[in-house]
Structure 1
Amino acid sequence: MQYQSNMTEFILVAFSLNYDLDVILFHVFFLAYVVIIFGNLAIITVTCYDSRLHLPMYFFLGNISLLELSISSVVIPKLLAILLPFKKTITFVGCFVQCYFYFALGTADFMLLAVMSYDRYLAICNPLHYVNIMNWNTCLCLACFSWTGGFLIDLVPGFIKATMPFCKGNTINHFFCDSLPIMKLSCMDTTFLQLLDFFLFSFIILGSLFITIWTYMMIAITIFKIPTVSGRTKAFSTCISHLILVCLGYGGTIFLYIIPKGNYYMSYNKLVSIVTIFITPVLSPFIFCLRNNVVQVALEDMYVRLKKSVLE
């Protein structure tokens, strides 16, 4: 087989070859994307402009919302395009740019989830020193470290994938440029690259999960020592939204990138990917709003101000 060094585009196989089903999925995913945009933008806006939310927890919440919105925006617009009958292809460069940003933003997301758990640990387990430790300089450094780390960690694997030779066609069995489906089209032996991906995914995902589990073990021990039920409930309520987000985020991603792959992998990959790209970003704003009275009040006030300015 000859290497196809002049490949210019890939064909993305979404969910079916049935036009009617694709139209239904287009409308469902479009509606979900609208909810993702407005929901996460509302969280970002209210955390920026409401002084009551100028606290580390809400600063990290705004960053998480921005990441959720960015990850979805990397994938969903192109997915909506290929669900229409016009063009089901993505350019060679566009494919690897999408792949890189998807994993870079995802890495930053997991790092920030670990940072948020550390923030809750300090707030509950070390409240007297919380303000001094988690000051704005620390918050900015942790956020910058997470964002920068995500983009740097995935830089080398992304470059290697973009320079691979391809000779096994140009059809990617997915609705976006995921790592393994791309490597399946390469002529070269990708064993080392798959091991590199596995090592990086395990280090980031399981490493951040370990930090989260450890911090919440310490938090649980501290909460159980609080003498009153109301005190324990109040302390735990500040963590429940983050815990729900952790369960949603880690569950599907561990299945996709950590658990050994069998023949079933590609069959379930698309379904589980929907959870990380659609379900989690859709639910995140509602989780934080429904579980947090301060955010609810801030959103209501912002809505009243916007309504008043429109009427004027």
Structure 2
Amino acid sequence: MFIIIRALVTFVSLTALGFQNRTINFVTEFVLLGFHGQKEMQRFFFSLLLVLYLLTLLGNGAIVCAVKWDRRLHTPMYILLGNFAFLEIWYVSSTVPNMLVNIISDTKTISFSGCFLQFYFFFSLGTTECFFLSVMAYDRYLAICRPLHYPSIMTGKFCVTLICVCWVSGFLCYPVPIVLISQLPFCGPNIIDHFVCDPGPLFALSCVPAPFTELICYTFNSVIIFGPFLSILGSYTLVLRAVFRVPSGAGRIKAFSTCGSHLMVVFLFYGTLMVMYVSPVSGNPAGRQKIMTLVYSAVTPLLNPLIYSLRNKDMKDALKKVLRLTISQN
């Protein structure tokens, strides 16, 4: 898998660099304006982002360690959760460190190829997250709607296969849109009123209108967002039907608590994605784009471990065990 990823990254980088040398393309770097404000406000944003980033690494890293070290959590549900937390670490790391450097930098520049590499990793990891959320919903559907067949269907081998499919598919989706956008003529200006390389601002910087490329990208984004989302809705529609048939109130409460944390993460993540990438760019001012991007790129990965751990007794016990082990070793 890593060989495929490396080959794709090399391909995207060489394509961007190759087109950069054409006479029609005069832009060799972009300027990411990031957050506006005086130096005091910039320091505040830097401190806030740094704290969010460190807490995100700590929270998701704790979940990864808990799933790895506690044998009671070696089940498909928690293995998927551990991989999801591992994904969140890389997802937040694809943008936030560059945001921090951008805030303290005087030039705030990013190279042409670096911009599209960030674009690739950020959107590939986000796509992988969409697939993971869909697979986690399918796992809950099997556990609640087909409990007798669950052990024979969701085997360890099948679970690993689903995880590999999520990772590989996520990284295979975005080379085509990135190549299409990178081949647009960027003659200047080169100022992006954002803190990440996002398709909306990049389309705005193109020297000539590219309605066909925009249509392809928006259609592509809609399919990636709505495909897994509809799959999640379908899984939970069947789950709700099964839950309401449970005669005991305690059984219904247990089923709702099992699925509630996952649904909270789904609606938080997908809500901001739909506002950003399904509606046209003209309907998203720069300020709202920054807020929405900050929510799903930095805030959501921080909240995920809190949501999952606070609503799950087994996870809380495992995290306490990891914390005690860490303290005793120190």
Bin the TM-score by the shorter chain: over 0.9
Asked if 1:226 is matched to 2:237, the reply is no
Structure 1, unaligned runs of 5 or more: none
Q: Give the 5 Å matches for 1:1-312.
A: 5-310=25-330
CA distance in 2 between partners of 1:252 and 1:298 (Å): 31
CA distance in 1 between partners of 2:239 and 2:84 (Å): 21
CA distance in 2 between partners of 1:244 and 1:108 (Å): 18
CA distance in 1 between partners of 2:281 and 2:182 (Å): 23
- Maintained 8 Å contact 1:3/1:165: no
TM-align CA RMSD: 1.5
CA distance in 2 between partners of 1:291 and 1:228 (Å): 21
CA distance in 2 between partners of 1:261 and 1:166 (Å): 18
- Maintained 8 Å contact 1:81/1:87: no
> Which amino acid counterpart does residue 224 of structure 1 have in structure 2?
F
> Which amino acid counterpart does residue 92 of structure 1 have in structure 2?
F
Structure 2, unaligned runs of 5 or more: 1-21
CA distance in 2 between partners of 1:97 and 1:292 (Å): 37
Relative to the length of structure 2, the TM-score reads 0.90
> Which amino acid counterpart does residue 104 of structure 1 have in structure 2?
S
Deviations along 1:57-101, whole A, 9 cap, x unmatched? 111111221222212111111111111143411111111100011
Relative distance call for 1:188 and 1:136 in structure 2 (3 A) is farther
Relative distance call for 1:10 and 1:4 in structure 2 (3 A) is farther
The runs of at least 4 aligned residues of structure 1 exceeding 4 Å deviation read: none
Q: SS of the counterpart of 1:11?
A: strand
Relative to the length of structure 1, the TM-score reads 0.95
Q: CA deviation at 1:9?
A: 1.4
